[in-house]
Structure 1
Amino acid sequence: MPRVRTKSPVHQSSTPAPDAEPTSLEANSLALTMIQALIPLGLRAVEEALQQEVLALAGPRYAHADGRPAIARWGAQAGSVFLADQKVPIRVPRVRNRATNTEVPLATYAQLQTPRGHDVGLFRRVLGGLSCRDYEAAAEAVPEAFGLAKSSVSRRFVRASAQALQTLHERRHDDAEWLVLLLDGKSFADDQVVIALGVTTTGEKRILGLVQTATENKRVCATFLRELVERGFQTPTGLLVVLDGAKGLSAAVRDVFGERVPIQRCQWHKRENVVTYLPKAQQALWRRKLQAAYAKPTYAEARRALRQLVKELEQGNASAARSLEEGLEETLTLHRLDVFAKLGISFKTTNLIESVMARVEAKVHRVTHWRTSDQKQRWCAATLLEIEKQFRKVKGHQHLALLQAALRGKLTAPLTAA
């Protein structure tokens, strides 16, 4: 996607759009941010309109006997157009009058160089088309976001861009080999949204999908995971799943991927769950103790240190001891696979998803009024897709071959150790 820089609007109407969200200019700005995911499609509409004007002025390309010898195509040059008040770089075709040796200005290009006020209603129609899978309706609305009349853009563009939108939102995942699946449920606008993030065998990250659910229950999450599998989420060399410890997610994972699928339970969540049972004066100390135990490089050392902490907690707080003991083995899956030293930085917690959701919340937290569930899902999805473009490979990706080898075999230590 072309780099976008913000330019202060020159002429903005003080009258809000008649169907704008009742959430002030901040919400308008958020809508604009999310619609930037559609900039490549909008630029195709701009190119379509510019080429139509060039065709009207200079005739068909390479047609020299069409009665217009004085007007000719003259290459292209760098230029820019506006999406609302966002300036976007493009390549602009040139037309020249050979008789007068002067440039012929393109009226369409001049029209697109004027900043305009935000039209949140328009953006909502685009995103609404996406969420309703009415991709053609969404594609028809994209040119208007650039100030183009619907009649100036051909049906060919609408069909092509509608197909591109469908590909984006129903994309398959069988173009890569997947090695790690991270799942986490986060509160989003008073609802629960479960996000799936995949990591390939070469370390690339991708948002696989999301589902809105009241709780992280097994039935909804299992249906969601099966849909990912149907869209090509295949794991021929094995799969590691990273979770925060939610029982519904864990049950769904085992239901879809099998009882023996290795699950790495988030060590950060486990540590915080344990210390909540303790007085505040003791919490910092126990965070350090638990962190030191989990930092042991081998399974035997880490398990021995954690079992010792369970015994210490039993003396003063049985509830905290039970919390640590519950699911303890799953927090040591990377240790059992003997890859903790190399890959623990990326997969010992759910931080990869936590950081993504933090960026989503940073974009939408000022929105105070959500009208429908559909609106929440499309805003969240559009923001996630925009964030995905900035993903980098996971830390330690050069060691993923070690994880592949471990998953192809068996866990290096039994699930229950003496």
Structure 2
Amino acid sequence: MRQLYRTNQRLDSKKLAKYLAQDGQLLLPLLDLILNTESAIDEVIDVTGRAAIEAILLLSAQEVVGKPHPGKKQGPVYRNGSQNGVVSLSSQKVRVNKPRLRHKETGEVSIPAYEAMLNNSRLGQRILEILMKGVSTRNYQTVIPEMAETVGVSKSQISREFIEISSRQFQTFCERDFSDKDILVIYLDGIRFGPFHVIAALGIDSDGHKHVLGIREGASENSVVVKDLLNDLVERGIDPQQKRLFVIDGSKALRKGINEVFGPDNPVQRCRNHKMTNVLGYLHKDQHDQVRSAMKAAFQLEEKNGMAQLNKLADWLDQEHCSAAESLREGLKEM
């Protein structure tokens, strides 16, 4: 397996430290830098999912061509470097680097696991469930064997050493220390994968880099799980005394957990993407573009004018879509 952790694109967030020292409200226009990127959950999938899938593809290729033995004569199928590919994990596309195999006479040879994932969309959902369950419960040693079995890789290809190496890499990534990082923004995101829920935390440091901070199995409405996740961040170096911005999906348990672990003085911003999704969920599809555009336009305005536009939109929705209007007004002051 290749190194799990990587730093994503740099965001221009040097201003965050300056603004946090003054007034958290001044940060709100900068949130587009965060909210226009993947959500925290997407980031977890992108980083851990890529590494796990690439490990499975190596095992599947090994079934076709055999284990590499330096000096041993190659058979009709041989390794020919690697190439880029894309697989779907539920609704998310993950770019991977996969082995390239060739036959001496017939040319390109497919990797069975890769073809299976391309041709069966259900496999992607199942792999994603295995990944999130293993990472969120820290049961790392189950991830690779269960994934491999799902895509038809023989158990004989999965050595104990391979499982131990992959487990250590997942553990190193998921439980690493952040005391050397100046984390200024923490984005908490909850989502459901099949039969279970997970909560993920994504951080932005003072150099503008994104970091997957942690993940736990459980819903964002579960105060015990939320507090456990936040306390774990503190134990791994996130200073609870430092003032920082939190971005959440509107869950009361998230807000309560932040207050209890990090104190009530940190500015909290509702995720605008979640807000739009919630409001649009009460509307017919032919109204989505109009309402989405109106909300995005309001979010770009200065706070007072933006609030006025959103309240005006809520009044308009009240005429025929009371639930959508109520959803828009809920927590509006934290938008």
TM-score by length of 2: 0.52
2:246 match: 241
- Alignment match of 2:328 (pick from 324, 329, 336): 324
2:191 match: 186
* Secondary structure of residue in 1 paired with 2:282: coil
2:204 match: 199
* Secondary structure of residue in 2 paired with 1:110: coil
In structure 2, the CA distance between the partners of 1:224 and 1:315, relative to structure 1 (3 Å rule), is same
1:218 match: 223
Q: Which entry has the higher C-alpha Rg, 1 or 2?
A: 1
1:301 match: 305
* Secondary structure of residue in 2 paired with 1:109: coil
Is the contact between residue 241 and residue 262 of structure 2 (CA under 8 Å) also seen in structure 1? no
In structure 2, the CA distance between the partners of 1:38 and 1:279, relative to structure 1 (3 Å rule), is closer
What do the CA deviations read for 1:189-233 (whole angstroms, capped 9, x no partner)? 321111111111111111112111256311111111101111112
- Alignment match of 1:85 (pick from 51, 61, 71): 61
In structure 2, the CA distance between the partners of 1:182 and 1:118, relative to structure 1 (3 Å rule), is same
Structure 1 distance, partners of 2:158, 2:193, is 35
Structure 2 distance, partners of 1:170, 1:112, is 43
Structure 2 distance, partners of 1:32, 1:110, is 31
- Give the alignment's Cα RMSD to 1 decimal: 4.7
What do the CA deviations read for 1:3-51 (whole angstroms, capped 9, x no partner)? 9xxxxxxxxxxxxxxxxxxxxxxxxxx9996174699xxxxxxxxxxxx
In structure 2, the CA distance between the partners of 1:168 and 1:311, relative to structure 1 (3 Å rule), is closer
Is the contact between residue 194 and residue 216 of structure 1 (CA under 8 Å) also seen in structure 2? no
Structure 2 distance, partners of 1:307, 1:270, is 14
CA drift of 1:302 comes to: 0.9
Say whether 1:314 aligns with 2:318. yes
- Alignment match of 1:227 (pick from 229, 232, 249): 232
Structure 2 distance, partners of 1:32, 1:272, is 27
Gaps of 5+ in 1: 4-29, 40-81, 87-106, 139-144, 154-158, 332-418
In structure 2, the CA distance between the partners of 1:34 and 1:289, relative to structure 1 (3 Å rule), is same
In structure 2, the CA distance between the partners of 1:36 and 1:316, relative to structure 1 (3 Å rule), is closer
Structure 2 distance, partners of 1:38, 1:190, is 24
TM-score by length of 1: 0.43
Structure 2 distance, partners of 1:32, 1:316, is 45
Is the contact between residue 174 and residue 214 of structure 2 (CA under 8 Å) also seen in structure 1? no
1:114-193 matches, within 5 Å, as 131-132=138-139, 167-193=172-198
CA drift of 1:286 comes to: 2.3
2:71 match: 110
Structure 1 distance, partners of 2:293, 2:235, is 43
Structure 2 distance, partners of 1:132, 1:278, is 40
What do the CA deviations read for 1:46-91 (whole angstroms, capped 9, x no partner)? xxxxxxxxxxxxxxxxxxxxxxxxxxxxxxxxxxxx86637xxxxx
Letter of the structure 2 residue corresponding to residue 264 of structure 1: Q
Is the contact between residue 220 and residue 226 of structure 2 (CA under 8 Å) also seen in structure 1? no
In the comparison of the two structures, how many residue pairs are matched? 222
Letter of the structure 1 residue corresponding to residue 179 of structure 2: D
Letter of the structure 2 residue corresponding to residue 179 of structure 1: L
Is the contact between residue 275 and residue 283 of structure 1 (CA under 8 Å) also seen in structure 2? yes
* Secondary structure of residue in 1 paired with 2:71: helix
2:13 match: none
Structure 1 distance, partners of 2:49, 2:296, is 41
Structure 2 distance, partners of 1:300, 1:248, is 28
In structure 2, the CA distance between the partners of 1:282 and 1:83, relative to structure 1 (3 Å rule), is closer
Is the contact between residue 186 and residue 204 of structure 2 (CA under 8 Å) also seen in structure 1? yes
Structure 2 distance, partners of 1:149, 1:248, is 42
In structure 2, the CA distance between the partners of 1:178 and 1:167, relative to structure 1 (3 Å rule), is same
Structure 1 distance, partners of 2:56, 2:226, is 29
- Alignment match of 1:261 (pick from 266, 275, 278): 266
CA drift of 1:280 comes to: 4.6
* Secondary structure of residue in 2 paired with 1:199: strand
- Over 6 Å off, 4+ runs: 112-119, 147-150, 159-165
What do the CA deviations read for 1:277-333 (whole angstroms, capped 9, x no partner)? 34555443222222221221x1122112222223333344433322211100111xx
- Alignment match of 2:52 (pick from 31, 34, 40): 34
CA drift of 1:167 comes to: 4.0
Is the contact between residue 278 and residue 320 of structure 1 (CA under 8 Å) also seen in structure 2? yes
Structure 2 distance, partners of 1:164, 1:318, is 49
CA drift of 1:181 comes to: 0.8
Gaps of 5+ in 2: 4-47, 63-67, 80-100, 102-110, 114-129, 146-154
